[in-house]
């Protein structure tokens, strides 16, 4: 199997990481991307107009799994490693050909981005943070907070493989046990106020 | 499941919004909205279709043509430094 990264436009521009207007700068940033993100596989650089990115849908962070015949086996519209892991296993199980797992995952997997997205955002500070907070209040600060908490969150949100079902169940019970008393407290306070 | 009419409406809105420059100077709510609409309308290459071929320069040197990789699976990710 070959892993390939296509290097695209600035998603969150800022001082020093402005919108590309020449390919040399884009090539230099692609080298930095490969080095800083420790990407062990090949990185190719799209043209200035993002021709390849646009043909493939121009979403923010997509991944395609392509089969032996060059056809799309799976389209992970918001890259999520555990989902891709299952798709790859499915493709290997069917002789590396054909569509797997209904072919597409549209789920916006926010948690991985909220845990490690700050690494990208901080390269364009302060403009990148101002812009993203203006576009979606709370998302930039949430990314900062998620990154601060990444030693705790990453083992769950940055996994390459799916969580075992008992662990998922335990996390769901833990979340409910945390949130229910909070909700009871909030609603109870409303009742008391009345 | 969206009706064909609703999908058409979303696609029309998506087309109007996507007139913005590809290399934008500021990330805006429009870009969030375009990603949401693109997800709803399943923008991109459909499962089962041939992955469009391309030839691009490699950071490691030389060029890479996607179609030359036929015969083994490929995981193709699109990423940005920001």
Reported as a single tens digit per residue, the pLDDT across A69-85 is 999 999 999 999 999 99
Q: Does A118 touch chain B (CB under 8 A)?
A: no
Tokens of A31: 């080298």
Please state whether beta strands B55-57 and A104-105 pair in parallel, antiparallel, or not at all (unpaired).
Answer: unpaired
pLDDT at residue A24 in the model: 96
A133: which chain B residues are within 8 Å (Cβ-Cβ)? none
Handedness of CA A9, A48, B14, A79 (dihedral sign): negative
Kindly identify which residue of chain A lies nearest to residue B50, measuring between CA atoms: A71
Encode A35-70: b = buried (16+ Cβ within 10 Å), e = exposed: eeeebeebbbbbebebebbeebbbbbbbbbbbbbeb
Burial class from Cβ neighbours inside 10 Å (0-12, 13-18, 19+) for residue A174 reads exposed
Beta bridge partners of B55: B65
Reported as a single tens digit per residue, the pLDDT across A17-55 is 999 999 999 999 999 999 999 999 999 999 999 999 999
Kindly identify which residue of chain B lies nearest to residue A118, measuring between CA atoms: B82
pLDDT above 70 coverage of chain B, percent = 96
Please report the residues numbered 39 through 98 in chain A whose beta carbons come closer than 8 angstroms to any beta carbon of chain B.
Answer: 42-75, 77-79, 84, 88, 91-92, 96
- A134 in Cβ contact with A125 (< 8 Å): no
Reported as a single tens digit per residue, the pLDDT across A113-164 is 889 899 999 999 999 999 999 999 999 999 999 999 999 888 888 888 888 8
Asked if A64 and B79 come within 8 Å (Cβ–Cβ), the reply is: no
Quote the DSSP letter at residue B7: H
Chains A, B: CB contacts within 8 A come to: 237
At B29, phi and psi to the nearest 5?
Answer: -60, -30
Choose from A27, A62, A102, A133 for mutation: most chain B CBs within 10 A: A62
Asked if A65 and B74 come within 8 Å (Cβ–Cβ), the reply is: yes
Output the pTM of the full model: 0.87
- B55 in Cβ contact with B63 (< 8 Å): yes
A52: which chain B residues are within 8 Å (Cβ-Cβ)? 52, 54, 56
Beta bridge partners of A7: A45, B79
**A193 or B80, higher pLDDT:** B80
Q: Does A6 touch chain B (CB under 8 A)?
A: yes
- d(CA B77, CA A179) in angstroms, rounded, equals 36
Residue B28, phi-psi category: left (phi > 0), alpha (psi -120 to 50), beta (remainder): beta
- A43 in Cβ contact with B61 (< 8 Å): no
pLDDT at residue A194 in the model: 56
Quote the DSSP letter at residue B63: E
- d(CA A64, CA A74) in angstroms, rounded, equals 6
Q: What is the mean pLDDT of residues B8-28?
A: 82
Q: Report chain B's mean pLDDT, rounded to a whole number.
A: 91
Asked if A29 and B51 come within 8 Å (Cβ–Cβ), the reply is: no
Kindly identify which residue of chain A lies nearest to residue B29, measuring between CA atoms: A135
């Amino acid at each position: 199997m070959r892993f390939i990264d296509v290097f695209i436009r600035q998603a969150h521009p800022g001082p020093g990481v402005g919108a590309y207007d020449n390919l040399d700068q884009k090539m230099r940033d692609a080298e930095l991307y490969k080095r800083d993100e420790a990407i062990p596989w090949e990185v190719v650089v799209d043209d200035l107009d993002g021709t390849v990115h646009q043909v493939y849908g121009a979403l923010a962070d997509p991944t395609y799994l392509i089969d032996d015949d060059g056809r799309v086996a799976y389209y992970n519209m918001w890259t999520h490693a555990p989902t891709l892991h299952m798709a790859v296993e499915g493709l290997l199980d069917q002789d590396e050909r054909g569509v797997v797992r209904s072919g597409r995952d549209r789920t916006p997997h926010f948690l991985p981005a909220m845990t490690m997205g700050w690494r990208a955002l901080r390269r364009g500070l302060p403009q990148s943070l101002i812009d993203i907070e203006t576009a979606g209040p709370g998302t930039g600060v949430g990314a900062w907070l998620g990154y601060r908490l990444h030693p705790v969150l990453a083992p769950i949100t940055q996994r390459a493989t799916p969580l075992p079902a008992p662990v998922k169940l335990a996390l769901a019970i833990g979340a409910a046990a945390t949130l229910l008393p909070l909700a009871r407290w909030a609603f109870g306070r409303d009742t008391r106020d009345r | 499941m969206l009706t064909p009419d609703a999908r058409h409406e979303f696609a029309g809105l998506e087309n109007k919004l996507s007139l913005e420059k590809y290399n934008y100077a500021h990330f805006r709510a429009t870009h969030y909205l375009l990603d949401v609409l693109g997800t709803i309308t399943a923008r991109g290459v459909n499962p089962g279709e041939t992955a469009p071929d391309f030839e691009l320069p490699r950071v490691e040197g030389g060029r890479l043509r996607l179609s030359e990789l036929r015969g083994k699976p490929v995981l193709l990710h699109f990423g940005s430094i920001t």
